[in-house]
Amino acid sequence: MYTVSPSVNKDVVYIAEHMRKADIKECEAFNKSPLQAINTAMITKNSQTLTLYKDKEPVLIGGLVPDGIKTATIWALATDKAFNNPTTVAKMGIKWINYIVNPYEKVHNLVWSENKKAINLLILLGFTVSTKVIHVNHLEFFYFVRRNLDKN
């Protein structure tokens, strides 16, 4: 059974220690360890962070970091188990995404171009993923965005 709750410190450590290789590669592109990447997002003022659990085991952690009054950076890092049942994760994710993005006109970030599972999930969650390449430390990333049409 999947559940979502506000993140706690033990979730951070668990996800960092069991993170998917693709997500580790994204962290490293920004010169962060998995633990540093999660902690940086969690301690940022006004950030929101939630954990997805599968049978009480943390499998995905993510949230929003405001970067303006009407915009925020959305992020998520996961273990391989988060993608064992992508349809269920997408159904849970859409409820969470619709709730958490509500105050913002736009949420956005970058995704490594080879992170196919994350790109497919982003599309299922209503994000537009650009195929224009953005280079970050010799890795190719795509910009993704979701606009909240009710706020425009």
Q: What is the pLDDT of residues 79-130, one digit of tens each?
A: 999 988 877 778 777 878 888 888 899 999 999 999 999 999 899 889 999 9
Q: Where would I find the beta strands (DSSP E) of 67-127?
A: 71-78, 106-112
Distance CA 77, CA 63 (A): 10
pTM for the whole structure: 0.90
Q: In what order do the strands lie in the sheet with 106-112?
A: 2-6, 48-54, 57-66, 71-78, 106-112, 139-147, 128-136
